[in-house]
């Protein structure tokens, strides 16, 4: 996010693009220091805390995009990011690491992908989102439609019933 914010500040003069980062963790203090040190406080809003689950939809509902940066490692190659699914359910366009677990469920028709660890590629994909609001909105709608059609609770309920019947 620091890299993205620096590039946005340089390329777009920070106009209209803001990052809101929420959460705690072992790197939160370092992240906060870097925001201050690099004079990015007008581009990155950082809240070092967690919000109650029921407040999340209201908090992120107005976001233009959700960025889900996952490292390419063994665990993440098998995981599906819950934050990504939250964005999809709220019809927020997603920019996510290009990993097999995510590609299993979604394609470039629904999400924006970037190569994990390649910050320049991440920036390019973000610029693509910013410069193509109609495409960005269409992808968000397609991701939502796909998720609801294939993996909503009614579909999962039927799958579970079939598993139980076959026991």
Task: Please give the pLDDT value at position 33.
Answer: 96
Q: What is the mean pLDDT of the chain?
A: 92
Q: Which residues of 1-30 are buried (b: 16+ CB within 10 A; e: fewer)?
A: bbebbbbbbeeeeeeebebebeeeeeeeee
Q: Tens of pLDDT along the chain (167 residues)?
A: 899 999 989 888 767 889 999 888 889 999 999 999 999 999 999 999 888 888 888 888 889 999 999 999 999 999 999 999 999 999 999 999 999 999 999 999 999 999 999 999 999 999 999 999 999 999 999 999 999 998 878 878 888 888 999 98
pLDDT above 90 covers a percentage of the chain that reads 74
Give pLDDT tens digits for 38-84: 999 999 999 998 888 888 888 888 899 999 999 999 999 999 999 99
Task: Please give the pLDDT value at position 151.
Answer: 83
Q: Is 111 exposed, middle or buried (0-12, 13-18, 19+ CB in 10 A)?
A: buried
- Spatial distance between the Cα atoms of 84 and 113, rounded to a whole number of angstroms: 12
Half-sphere exposure of 94 (CA within 13 A, CB side): 30
Task: Please give the pLDDT value at position 14.
Answer: 60
Helix 82-89 / helix 133-151 crossing angle, nearest 10 deg: 110
Instruction: Name 94's bridge partners.
Output: 66
- Spatial distance between the Cα atoms of 107 and 102, rounded to a whole number of angstroms: 8
């Amino acid at each position: 996010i620091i890299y993205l914010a620096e590039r946005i500040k340089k390329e777009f003069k920070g106009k209209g693009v803001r990052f809101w980062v929420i959460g705690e963790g072992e790197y939160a203090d370092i992240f906060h220091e870097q925001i201050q040190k690099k004079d990015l406080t007008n581009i990155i809003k950082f809240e070092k805390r967690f919000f109650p689950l029921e407040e999340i939809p209201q908090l992120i509902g107005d976001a233009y995009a959700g960025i889900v940066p996952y490292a390419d490692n063994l665990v993440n190659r098998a995981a599906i990011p819950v934050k990504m699914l939250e964005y999809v359910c709220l019809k927020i366009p997603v920019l996510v690491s290009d990993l097999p677990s995510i590609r299993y469920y979604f394609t470039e028709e629904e999400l924006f992908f970037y190569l994990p660890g390649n910050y320049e590629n991440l920036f390019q994909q973000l610029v693509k989102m910013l410069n193509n609001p109609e495409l960005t909105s269409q992808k968000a709608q397609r991701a939502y439609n796909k998720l609801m059609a294939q993996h909503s609770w009614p579909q999962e309920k039927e799958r579970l019933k079939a598993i139980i019947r076959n026991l």
